[in-house]
Chains A and B, each alone.
Chain A
Amino acid sequence: MNPTPGKINDSFSDFNSEDAPQQQKQKKKKSSTQLPQPGTTQGSCAFDSAMITLVPITDAAHVVHGPSGCAASIWGSYSSLSSGSMLYKIRFSSDIDENDIIFGGAKKLYKGILELARRYKPAAVFVYSTCITALIGDDIEGVCKNATEKTGIPTIPVHCPGFIGNQNLGNRVAGEAMLEHVIGTAEPNTSTPDDINLIGEHNIAGAIWNVLPLLEKLGIRVLAKITGDAIYKEVCYAHRAKLNVLLSSKALINMAKSMEKKYGIPYIEESIYGIESINQCLRNIAAKLDNPDLQERTEKLIVEETAAIDEKLSLYITRLQGKRMILSIGSFKSWLIIFAAKKLGIEVIAISTKNNTEEDKIRLKSLLGQDGIILEQNSSEEILQIINENQADMLIADKRHQDASLTARIAFLDINQERNHPYAGYIGILEVARELYAAFYNPVWEQVCQLAPWEVGVEEAGNSQQEEI
């Protein structure tokens, strides 16, 4: 079996030792590093998330070294968009079979890389190990080294067998692979004092395209997008940026920390979901780049953009004001919805704080106000009860609670639909408003609440009978 690369264990310790005063706080968030329990876990594995992180490098070939099932199952589930190469959409697999398990699959992998390099001419090749090939001990480091020498195309090993842990670990492994093999291997043609990297936004549904024009207007150059609509070359010269901006997720925070240590690039954690968030994100970037002129331009842009959005939102506000909603989503997206609700005059009556940190929970409670309800179990039964007791008009949750809304016959929005709708940036809130409006005012609700004409008769008869008794 391949040992788990030592660095990953190191990065665990890094995570705590670097922030000694914060250690207490980190401990509370430690659920991410807890070992999964049999019969209870729902999450995905390191392999899956390592691929989510790296596949948005669009001009690279991504090879799964393992059974083709691993490659087939993850195919088509992420709508990370590309403005150029479509190579990343192709799924390569060494298609390990029983024979390879007995005799080793390294040779097949090597031949496979040479073959796809010849046929597809990728900018780089990423090789992902899986449970099986890690277990039989295939030396993918060696194969990648040989393949790089033979083809001249950088070939990068990613040690991500699913059994090493959960998604967070996979993100880190992907970050380590980039740090070790990609970042710092090339130099950009030019450099400006306002060069930044955007980290951790995979351009799902084109989210990043809602933000890039804003940065461009401000004269900020995005050197590398790690990763989302990225090309291999730009990741190579990411070490020349002046600032790392971590977007919407902590997935690659270790990478940002390492880059700070190694290349002296400071990082900030920002969100691009919701108007307040994007305002703050732009302000913080300008402040961190320490450019007074840029800060001034940023304020001007914020005023312009918010005014433009306010005008477009007015129609939605008149239709949505005063509605009551329940929110059961355990991620950063809840902030987006809360801010959107505020803007639109929608009242959030209950919220789930699952997966949120203590700090977030306090903030959520304060936003909800006195009458706000915190969902304790986050089960469908609990949600149903709250809907009935509070005359809620809408439920926003992930798909597994859809049935609760159908039972209660109230409008429902599957928040994970963000895979198809870009909610990011200023324009993002319009998208949210449009979806809320579409959900509230859909005539199907009225129809599905109606009894069939023959059922109406039966029910009345039944009632009158009861009355007689």
Chain B
Amino acid sequence: MAIISVTSTSVAVNPLKQSQTVGAVLAFMGLKGIMPLLHGSQGCTALTKKVLVQHFRQTIPLSSTAMTEVATILGGEERVEQAILTLVQRSKPEIIGLCSTGLVETRGDDMGRFVKEIRHRRPELDYLPIVLVSTPDFKGTLQDGFAGAVESIIREIPQKGSKQDPCPTQITILASSAFTPGDVQEIKEIVTSFGLVPIVVPDLSGVLDGYIEDSSSAITANGTTLAQLRSIGSSVFTLALGDSMRGGAQILEQRFNIPYEVFGELTGLTAVDKFLQALADISGVSVPDKYRRQRRQLQHVMLENHFYFGCKRVSLALEPDLLWSTVSFLRSLGVEIHSAVTTTRFPLLEKLPIKSVTIGDLEDFEQLAVGSDLLITNSHGVAIAQRLKIPLYRQGIPIFDQLDHGQFTKVGYRGTMQLLFDIGNLFLEQETKVKH
């Protein structure tokens, strides 16, 4: 049981949290043919884009209503309409993902009404789904923006066809912002090997090979298709990966009566066991040999290498879902959690099997982490790691000083092994340094 503490400073030093818009746009990137549109000043768009481009090292389609000073005084409805019309003409998107920003939320733009009235005035846009999500910068964080976008998507797009028969092999997977494109790829492979047909929302595995021709007229080339999204009502089960996806799974339960299960983490022997058992139960297919073999490999690796983990002290600064997953994994190898910092209040935090969690910034992290053996946070932790002379393992967003993060995989038995080796090597390196 963790005690949650909030630091009482008047100034945030080196913020850990990212804007909700970053999360929402990241989620939208996993839908095919989407053009995300931020209603705010053009800087909101440029800065959101910057974070994602830094992290993924590739073009990110994103557009802005480009609020000006005058528009800020008079209201932005016209600009939303104009932006949508321009985008439809130029980029021909299949979906528009419309996000608010701190600016227009402070102004009080009623975006729900905007969309309604635009629809009324422009019947020619009837074919075009517009997914609206509220993402002010002054509350919430990347993870909330991501979850909010996923909830809006599945509230807006899947259809309630009365004749739709459930498809016995089709399942819906809601994957939170804690999972990389590589993770999503691995999850899809695992699920498919049970004979199931997964619809992943959002399917970031496409982001890896997304071929985008020209950023000024580009829409995403991969990801969950509109047809897939519409057919979600026929899925027989929802797998919510990451606790922030619980809300989304509940929406599907309410709308289509689809049962769901939440998996907080897919890293670590027990967690993967539980996941595979669930897939076997849903599909009626026994766990494929490939994974039985991988499981034995992982057991072997854990036995051989646990010496490097026992009683090591690790400090983490991560978003709640990723924090939960990483803490669970480390604890399963006998690591002590020295300190944990996160971005926002979250129901799961109290249940973390550690003494305390601090909701704070990277300055708090720097103070709390003194004396630990390893730091885990995003690339902004590099300077802290240098000052404290403690090695850093990068997780979260943004990671901009390392090459493999899009493809990096930490889920499944194989991903668990990868994470174990990565972190174990850092510990081992420290030990050998002392010897020399």
Contact = CB atoms under 8 A, between A and B. Distances in A.
A7 interface: no
Interface in B77-136: 79-80, 82-87, 90, 101-103, 106-107, 136
A411 to B, nearest CB: 18
Contacts of B423: none
B15 A68 contact: yes
Interface string A91-106: 1111111101100000
Contacts of A86: 383
Contacts of B289: none
A97 B20 CA distance: 13
How many residues of A sit at the interface, in one of the four size bands? Answer: 35 or more
Of B42, B50, B51, B398, chain A has the most CB atoms within 10 Å of the CB of: B42
Nearest to B383: A89
A186 interface: no
Nearest to B398: A76
Contacts of A399: 53, 58-59
A48 B47 contact: yes
A71 B15 CA distance: 7
Nearest to B217: A379
Nearest to A89: B383
A93 B102 CA distance: 15
A74 B380 contact: no
Of B13, B40, B73, B82, chain A has the most CB atoms within 10 Å of the CB of: B13
A43 B12 contact: no
Nearest to B362: A91
Interface stretch (B61-69, B154-162, B180-188): B61-69
A63 interface: yes
Nearest to A111: B10
Contact of B20 (A47, A69, A93): A69
Contacts of A91: 13-15
A71 B136 CA distance: 14
B37 A39 contact: yes
A136 B102 CA distance: 11
Given A37-B86, A39-B83, A96 B46 contact: no
B79 A38 contact: yes
Interface string B205-230: 00000011111100000000000000
Interface string B167-191: 0000000000000000000000000
A67 interface: yes
B54 A76 contact: yes
Contact of B12 (A35, A40, A48, A71): A71
Contacts of B73: 1
A357 interface: no
B380 A70 contact: no
Given A38-B80, A113-B11, A379-B214, A162 B63 contact: no
30 contacts: A36-B68, A37-B66, A38-B83, A39-B65, A39-B84, A41-B42, A41-B45, A41-B66, A42-B42, A42-B215, A42-B216, A43-B42, A46-B43, A66-B137, A69-B22, A70-B47, A73-B22, A75-B14, A75-B15, A89-B383, A90-B14, A94-B11, A95-B361, A112-B10, A131-B40, A131-B72, A132-B137, A163-B71, A165-B69, A399-B58
In the A-B complex, the 7 residue pairs with the closest CB atoms:
A45-B43, A69-B19, A39-B86, A112-B11, A38-B83, A39-B83, A162-B43
